[in-house]
């Protein structure tokens, strides 16, 4: 039985994380540091002292209310429920790895059940990490507005419909990807033919 477990995140989860996490990351990139002005020719450059190490380069502290709001938004948005399926998938892979040794089945099931509290702690650790990511990317005021939306009937309905919406989006994207791939190839062949090239 292999000691390494690999679980591929479902495409739906990838879409959730891409939409919820990557946009803030793109919009809040720090500006590139300005280049120092060039020294006039003929003058020796003065030695530059080493830059002091300051706490400013470290991650700023997040106050408890900010973190609590980030956790609420992360939980309310439905992203956390995606973690629910990951750890059981690890157990299922272990069971599949032991399928050639049926005598292990009973003990293995009991061990996995016994480990459930520890696995719950592991899930909570990931939830805490995700909440901190939200808190680093969104201000306390922004999180307050987002949390207010998710508490509203429209926000709750939005979260409720996400699994069905994402399932349909995955199916639509698969069809769209194939159609666009064929369309692009047809168009490229047509344009290349105008230039005297024939593509297979």
- Interacting residues of 74 by C-beta distance below 8 A, sequence separation 6+: 80, 127, 130, 131, 134
Assess contact for 94 and 112: CB atoms under 8 A: yes
Model-level pTM?
0.60
Model pLDDT for residues 79-121, shown as the tens digit of each residue: 888 888 888 888 889 888 887 888 888 899 999 999 999 999 9
Q: In this predicted structure, what is the pLDDT of residue 99?
A: 77
Token readout for 103 is 């005598």
Cα separation, 24 vs 32, whole angstroms? 18
Model pLDDT for residues 30-75, shown as the tens digit of each residue: 444 444 444 444 544 544 544 444 444 455 688 999 999 999 999 9
- Interacting residues of 134 by C-beta distance below 8 A, sequence separation 6+: 70, 71, 73, 74, 143
Dihedral angle over CA of 65, 69, 70, 75, nearest 10: 140
Cα separation, 27 vs 182, whole angstroms? 33
Cα separation, 5 vs 121, whole angstroms? 19
Model pLDDT for residues 141-195, shown as the tens digit of each residue: 999 999 999 999 999 999 999 989 999 999 999 999 999 999 999 999 999 999 9
- Interacting residues of 42 by C-beta distance below 8 A, sequence separation 6+: none
User: Is residue 20 pLDDT above 50, yes or no?
Assistant: no
Q: In which band, very low, low, confident or very high, does the pLDDT at 2 lie, cut at 50, 70 and 90?
A: very low
CA 149 to chain centre: 21
Q: Domain spans of the chain?
A: 61-151, 161-200
């Amino acid at each position: 039985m292999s000691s390494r477990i690999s679980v591929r995140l479902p495409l739906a989860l990838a879409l959730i994380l891409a939409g919820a996490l990557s946009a803030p990351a793109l919009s809040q990139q720090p500006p590139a540091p300005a280049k120092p002005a060039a020294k006039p020719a003929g003058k020796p450059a003065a030695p530059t002292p080493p830059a002091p190490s300051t706490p400013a380069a470290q991650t700023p502290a997040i106050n408890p209310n900010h973190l609590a709001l980030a956790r609420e938004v992360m939980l309310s948005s439905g992203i956390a429920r995606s973690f629910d399926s990951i750890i059981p998938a690890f157990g299922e892979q272990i069971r599949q790895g032991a399928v050639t040794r049926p005598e292990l089945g009973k003990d293995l099931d009991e061990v996995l059940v016994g480990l459930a509290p520890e696995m719950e702690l592991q899930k909570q650790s990931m939830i805490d990490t995700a909440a901190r990511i939200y808190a680093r990317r969104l201000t306390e005021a922004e999180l307050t507005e987002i949390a207010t939306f998710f508490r509203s009937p429209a926000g709750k309905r939005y979260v409720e419909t996400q699994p069905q919406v994402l399932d349909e989006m995955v199916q639509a994207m698969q069809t769209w990807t194939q159609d666009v791939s064929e369309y692009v190839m047809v168009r490229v062949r047509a344009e290349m033919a105008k230039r005297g090239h024939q593509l297979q």
